[in-house]
């Protein structure tokens, strides 16, 4: 994992993305000596992973009632577009 200053990353951003995409490299961006961000290859989730996440995190039983309460609190906004 290479460390780059934010300035260096900005100057060579296209090359940085090429290294991430082509070679799977990961970079830590540093500002004033502190790590502030990581740029790494994006990971894709396959069907199996998504199903496992959904099974682990069951349905939110309060969601429907919370949505109804939010909708009840909304009021239509009249912007006069019909006239």
The CATH number linked to 24 is: 3.40.1620.10
Domain containing residue 27 = 2-39
CB 29 within 8 A of CB 13: no
Query: How far apart are alpha carbons 19 and 65 in whole angstroms?
Result: 48
Number of H helices, E strands in the chain: 4, 3
Number of domains in the chain: 1
pLDDT tens digits along 31-41: 999 999 999 99
Identify whether 61 is part of a domain.
no
Task: Establish if 14 belongs to a structural domain.
Answer: yes
pLDDT confidence bin for 82, thresholds 50/70/90: low
For residue 63, is it within any domain?
Answer: no
pLDDT score at 67: 94
Q: Is residue 7 part of a domain?
A: yes
Task: Tell me if 9 is assigned to some domain.
Answer: yes
Query: Does a structural domain hold residue 13?
Result: yes
Residue 27 lies in a domain: yes
- Cβ neighbour number for residue 27 with a 10 Å cutoff: 19
What distance lies between CA 61 and its chain's CA centroid?
A: 26
What does pTM read for this prediction? Answer: 0.54
């Amino acid at each position: 994992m290479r460390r780059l200053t934010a300035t260096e990353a900005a100057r060579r951003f296209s090359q940085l993305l090429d290294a991430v995409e082509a070679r799977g490299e990961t970079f830590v961006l540093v500002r004033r000596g502190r790590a502030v961000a990581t740029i790494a290859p994006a990971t894709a989730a396959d069907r199996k992973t998504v199903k496992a996440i959904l099974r682990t995190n069951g349905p939110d039983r309060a969601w429907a009632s919370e949505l109804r309460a939010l909708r009840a609190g909304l009021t239509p906004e009249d912007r006069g577009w019909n006239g």
